[in-house]
Structure formats: structure tokens, C-alpha cells
Amino acid sequence: MVLFMDAGAKSKTWSEMLGDKDLDETFSKVSYAAVLFEKGSDEAKKYGVTTAPVLVLIDPTENKSLKTITSTAVKTIKTEVENAVKKLTKK
């Protein structure tokens, strides 16, 4: 899971929201990184990221994007991450 962020206020809000205690158990099941979004960078192109902030769930076996999340709702993020973990554990 990668958070593409910039220096804007929305990215700051995202990073704070991802620290929500309701996400602790879900996030313990995945690897997480935050990277500085640079438009046109290799990483942004690879995962189809055109703006920040955005959370990208990555399939580590194929190194490709499974899901791009733009919602800041904790419940949505939790559901999407859990669905991705279930999908990957079925492989």
C-alpha cells in the first residue's frame, strides 16, 4: 500500500486520518509506504497516479495496482484494504 502525497493540506489530512485507531488492525496485515508525488514520475506512471493524495493498493506478486482509493472515509479505506488482503490470500 502506497500513499502518494504532496506538501498540500489534503495530504496532511490524509496522513493524519491514516493514523486512525480503527485502521490499526487492518494496516497490520499490509506493508505501507508514503512517497512524494511527482507528476510524471516513473512511480506515478506505473500506478496511474495523476494527482495527490491518493492511496494505491498494490499486488506484490505482480507489482501492479489493485485499487486506487481517493476517499478519506476510514470505513471505506478499511473495507478496500481488507478486500485486497482477501483477494491476495486466495492466490
Of all residues in the chain, the percent with pLDDT exceeding 90 is 76
Tell the CATH topology of 2-89: Glutaredoxin (3.40.30)
Calculate the CA 81 to chain-centre distance: 8
Residue 91 has a pLDDT of: 65
State pLDDT tens for residues 65-77. Answer: 999 999 889 999 9
Q: C-alpha grid cell for residue 17?
A: 486520518
Calculate the CA 65 to chain-centre distance: 10
Residue 41 has a pLDDT of: 94
Domain residue ranges of the chain, discontinuous segments joined by +: 2-89
pTM for this model (two decimals): 0.87
Question: Secondary structure of 34-65 in the HEC alphabet?
Answer: EEECCCCCHHHHHHCCCCCCEEEEEECCCCEE
State pLDDT tens for residues 20-50. Answer: 999 999 999 999 999 999 999 999 999 999 9
